[in-house]
Structure 1
Amino acid sequence: MDSTTQHYRTGGHEVVEDITRDATEFVAGRGDGLLHVFVPHATAGLAILETGAGSDEDLLAALAELLPADDRWRHRHGSRGHGRSHVMPALIAPYATIPVLAGHLTLGTWQSLCLVDLNVDNDVREVRFSFLAG
């Protein structure tokens, strides 16, 4: 298995960041196999969805409704509502696996691989890309 990490600056705001280009570049020319992507953070996740047509903003809005940034959370350090960021990975998993055929991701026409980060207290995220040859 071959593995590498990338770092992403997500800033001090909630974000759905498209990382498909980096995933595509990592698997290019590798033949058949699986790309496993993992975010080693307790407050970030990965989602496969359409971007650029409003779905990324819709995801953030849905998470804001499901996980409000208020004082209901028992996990209370950090900014107001920080505890919700620790619950989010149960809904938006910190991993994704994508089949790779002939060195190309097999994502659908409108699908993108995205880093989802609600934690405004940590502005740099690490993502591990691992390729398992088939």
Structure 2
Amino acid sequence: MRHHATTFAFDTEGPGMRDITAPVADWLAGTGVTTGLLTAFCRHTSASLLINENAARAVQGDILRWLDRLAPQGAHYDHDDEGPDDMPAHLKTALTGASHAIPVIEGRLALGTWQGLFLVEHRARPHRRHVALHLAGD
């Protein structure tokens, strides 16, 4: 079994969902692995990874608004070291997760027809976010 690893850097523009499926799939294709398991890991506590619908853009807006309702900004948090969006961003990451394991079948990510891998920025200002990939397979 072969192992491959890399890290991608993505610039965000504030809250939003960025579809990172294509660059991840392109990297996978370059490894020559046809069967295996890809792990994607977001190296931040205020950004996360989601697998969700990549066809209807309204889904992204609905998800972001839902997260805002679950973890609203406000003075009710003790942790606000980096501003009022700091603790809500950590909560949103706790809800959505930092990693996903995706099977690789016939050299492709085994995502469903309408699924994509998204980097989700939870902070109000732009950031450079890093996503680590590890692939094990043949």
Task: With the length of structure 2 as denominator, give the TM-score of the two structures.
Answer: 0.90
Give the deviation of 1:21 after TM superposition: 0.3
* Distance (Å, rounded) in 2 between the aligned partners of 1:88 and 1:74: 16
Partner of 2:50: 47
1:26 aligns with 2:27: yes
Letter in 1 for 2:114: W
The alignment partner of 1:63 has SS state of helix
Root mean square deviation, CA, Å: 1.3
Partner of 2:129: 125
More helix by share: 2
The counterpart of 2:40, out of the listed 37, 41, 49, is 37
- In structure 1, the gaps of 5 or more residues are none
* Distance (Å, rounded) in 2 between the aligned partners of 1:109 and 1:73: 40
Give the deviation of 1:120 after TM superposition: 2.5
Closer, same or farther in 2 for the Cα pair 1:132/1:27, shift >3 Å?
Answer: same
**Hey, which bits of structure 1, 4+ residues long, moved more than 6 A?**
none
Partner of 1:3: 5
Letter in 2 for 1:6: F
Give the deviation of 1:71 after TM superposition: 1.7
The answer to whether the 8 Å contact 1:50/1:112 transfers is: yes
* Distance (Å, rounded) in 2 between the aligned partners of 1:18 and 1:50: 10
* Distance (Å, rounded) in 2 between the aligned partners of 1:95 and 1:50: 17
The alignment partner of 1:91 has SS state of helix
1:103 aligns with 2:107: yes
Aligned sequence identity (%): 32
The alignment partner of 2:43 has SS state of coil
- In structure 2, the gaps of 5 or more residues are none
* Distance (Å, rounded) in 1 between the aligned partners of 2:86 and 2:12: 16
Give the deviation of 1:51 after TM superposition: 2.5
